[in-house]
């Protein structure tokens, strides 16, 4: 496919990302606020709730990738986003009628996350096509721009979500729904994106399970992909639980905060990711990508050790910002490695394996975090993932090639 310079494709694609992740930012505050502050659930129940909110990505992500490789991506993505818009609208009706319970919130989170498991690989696969038409095939630049837009728009959603105590839950749920409709509308402005895999009418179409196996096989054969996904999976176990479970409890029990404090610590973290990603998009591509990922991962452990010493709230915000700046490097570079290594015909499936690697550890981490916090308290609990990351870092360094991965090492081989 020849590279062109159609910047409008890039603008519409980024418009879809910004509106979709604005809704995600609102959800990131609204869901734990409803669980922890409105329903007054303890740390164990909060951990279980966050586990269920992330579990669909682990169970359905591979199916989402297999489906995306055989869909016309523009229309498929639009329909998924419209379906997602119905979920917060339905929850708003239930909340206004007084029917919101712990179980209702779990069901809402599962449905929304299930749709997300199909949406993410489709959107990420579409990015490589936008990079061809708008950026001359510069995939690493496209990934860093998309990562920056994603997290900066999520920050706006977090700020709006932080007004839950003032505005109430229903207006925020309606804002989520409108934003997801807007995401669908901007997606429809993109040119058609035909399926990357097409079978003739006389051919027997492979089953979804066989398609999923092909994606897993590509990852298994590629040392670069294996090491990146392995690192991101265990980082998800150790880090995602901290943000999804520990910080809401920390804000409530240690700092006496509410929805605004939950929102602002997320703003600092995700804003840091967005800022560093946008800076990277304007610099020369990083050559030693694996080394950048591993060094960035160290930052999270250092930040958590500082939190253990009960610093003032403003210092916790600054620690979250520094952690986010480093995470922007690790997330953008790991996504770029996978985008470049994946072949066109298997890109969505490989990306879905990566997405599971990055988010799949989250349910495990969220579930474990609740019990660790209950046993040790939030300030001591932060030392557990930071200590485990030191061990993981050493194991990854000596047992994989992640430290040696450099940009432009080529595509992974297709399975026979």
300 inside domain: yes
The DSSP output letter for 412 is P
- Residue 295: exposed, middle, or buried by beta-carbon count in 10 A (0-12, 13-18, 19+)? middle
Asked if the structure places residue 411 within a domain, the reply is: no
pLDDT at 3: 43
Residue 178 phi/psi, 5° resolution? Answer: -60, -40
C-alpha dist (Å) from residue 153 to 23, 67, 182, 258 = 9, 27, 13, 22
The pair phi, psi for residue 203, each rounded to 5°, is: -80, 150
Q: Residue 349: which residues within 8 A CB-CB, separation 6 or more?
A: 62, 65, 66, 68, 69, 121, 211, 212, 214, 215, 218
Q: Is the dihedral of CA 5, 11, 12, 13 positive or negative?
A: positive
In a domain, 202, yes or no: no
Determine how many CB atoms are found less than 10 A away from the CB of residue 261: 20
Nearest to 251 by CA among 373, 154, 153: 373
The count of C-alpha atoms lying within 13 angstroms of the C-alpha of 278, restricted to the half-sphere facing its C-beta, is 13
pLDDT value for 193? 78
- In this prediction, residue 198 carries a pLDDT of 56
Q: Can you tell me the distance from the alpha carbon of 358 to that of 240, in angstroms, rounded to the nearest whole number?
A: 9
Q: Mean pLDDT per 10-residue run, the chain (416 residues)?
A: 60 92 90 86 80 82 80 90 95 91 92 91 84 76 83 86 86 95 92 68 64 79 82 82 77 82 83 83 78 85 87 92 87 80 73 74 76 85 86 88 72 48
Residue 5 and residue 134 in contact, taking contact as beta carbons nearer than 8 Å: yes
| CB burial of residue 113 (10 Å; 0-12, 13-18, 19+) | buried
Residue 200 belongs to a domain: no
Task: Tell me 283's DSSP state.
Answer: S
> Domain range holding 365?
7-190+208-404
Render pLDDT for 61-106 as a digit per residue (tens, 0 to 9). Answer: 778 877 887 888 889 999 999 999 999 999 999 999 988 899 999 9
Q: Is residue 198 part of a domain?
A: no
* pLDDT, tens digit, 9 for 90 and up, residues 290-334: 888 888 888 878 888 898 898 999 999 999 899 888 888 888 888
pLDDT given for residue 371 in this prediction = 82
Give the relative orientation of helices 208-221 and 347-359 as an angle to the nearest 10 degrees: 70
CB hemisphere CA count around 221 (13 angstroms): 15
Angle at 330 between CA 328 and CA 335, to 5 degrees: 95
- CA–CA separation, 179 and 161 (whole Å): 13
3-class state of residue 36 by DSSP:
helix
- Domain for residue 199, yes or no? no
Is 67 inside a domain boundary? yes
Q: Euclidean distance between the first and final Cα of the chain, in Å?
A: 24
Residues 246 and 381 sit within 8 Å (Cβ to Cβ): yes
Question: Is the CB of residue 188 less than 8 Å from the CB of residue 78?
Answer: yes
Whether the Cβ atoms of residue 205 and residue 199 lie closer than 8 Å to each other: yes
**Alpha carbon distance 236, 365 (integer Å):** 7
Residue 134 belongs to a domain: yes
pLDDT at residue 219, rounded to an integer: 80
Q: How much is the CA Rg of the chain, to the nearest whole Å? A: 20
Structure confidence at residue 403 (pLDDT) = 86
Helix ranges (H only) for 69-168 are: 73-96, 102-134, 139-161, 164-167
Q: How many domains does the chain have?
A: 1
Max Cα separation, the chain?
68
| CATH code for position 319 | 1.20.1250.20
């Amino acid at each position: 496919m020849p590279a062109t310079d159609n910047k409008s494709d890039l603008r519409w694609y980024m418009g879809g990302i910004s509106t979709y992740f604005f809704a995600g930012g609102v959800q990131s505050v609204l869901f734990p606020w409803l669980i922890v502050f409105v329903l007054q659930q303890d740390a164990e129940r909060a951990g279980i709730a966050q586990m269920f909110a992330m579990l669909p990505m682990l169970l359905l992500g591979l199916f989402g990738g297999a489906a995306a490789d055989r869909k016309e991506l523009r229309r498929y993505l639009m329909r998924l986003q419209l379906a997602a818009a119905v979920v917060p609208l339905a929850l708003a009706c239930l909340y206004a009628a007084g029917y919101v319970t712990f179980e209702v919130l779990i069901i809402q989170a599962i449905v929304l996350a299930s749709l997300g498991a199909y949406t993410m690989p489709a959107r990420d696969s579409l990015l490589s096509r936008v990079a061809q038409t708008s950026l001359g095939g510069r995939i690493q630049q496209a990934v860093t721009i998309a990562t920056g837009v994603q997290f900066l728009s999520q920050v706006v959603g977090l700020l709006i979500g932080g007004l839950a105590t003032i505005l109430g839950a229903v207006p925020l749920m309606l804002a989520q729904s409108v934003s997801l409709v807007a995401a669908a509308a901007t997606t429809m402005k993109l040119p058609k994106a035909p399926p990357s895999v097409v079978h003739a009418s006389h051919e027997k179409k492979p089953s979804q399970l066989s398609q999923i196996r092909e994606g897993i096989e590509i990852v298994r054969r590629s040392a670069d992909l294996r090491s990146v996904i392995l690192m991101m999976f265990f980082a998800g176990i150790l880090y995602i639980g901290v943000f999804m479970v520990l910080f809401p409890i920390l804000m409530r029990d240690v700092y006496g905060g509410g929805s605004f404090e939950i929102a602002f610590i997320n703003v600092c973290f995700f804003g840091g990711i967005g800022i560093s990603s946008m800076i990277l998009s304007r610099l020369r591509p990083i050559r030693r990508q694996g080394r950048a990922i591993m060094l960035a991962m160290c930052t999270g452990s250092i930040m958590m050790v500082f939190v253990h010493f009960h610093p003032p709230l403003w210092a916790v915000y600054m620690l979250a910002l520094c952690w986010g700046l480093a995470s922007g490097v690790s997330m953008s570079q790991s996504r770029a490695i996978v985008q470049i290594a994946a072949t066109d015909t298997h890109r969505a499936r490989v990306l879905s394996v990566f997405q599971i690697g990055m988010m799949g550890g989250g349910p495990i981490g969220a579930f474990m975090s609740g019990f660790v916090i209950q046993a040790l308290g939030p300030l001591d609990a932060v030392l557990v993932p930071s200590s485990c990351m030191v061990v993981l870092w050493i194991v990854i360094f000596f047992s994989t090639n992640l430290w040696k991965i450099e940009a432009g090492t080529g595509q992974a081989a297709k399975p026979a």
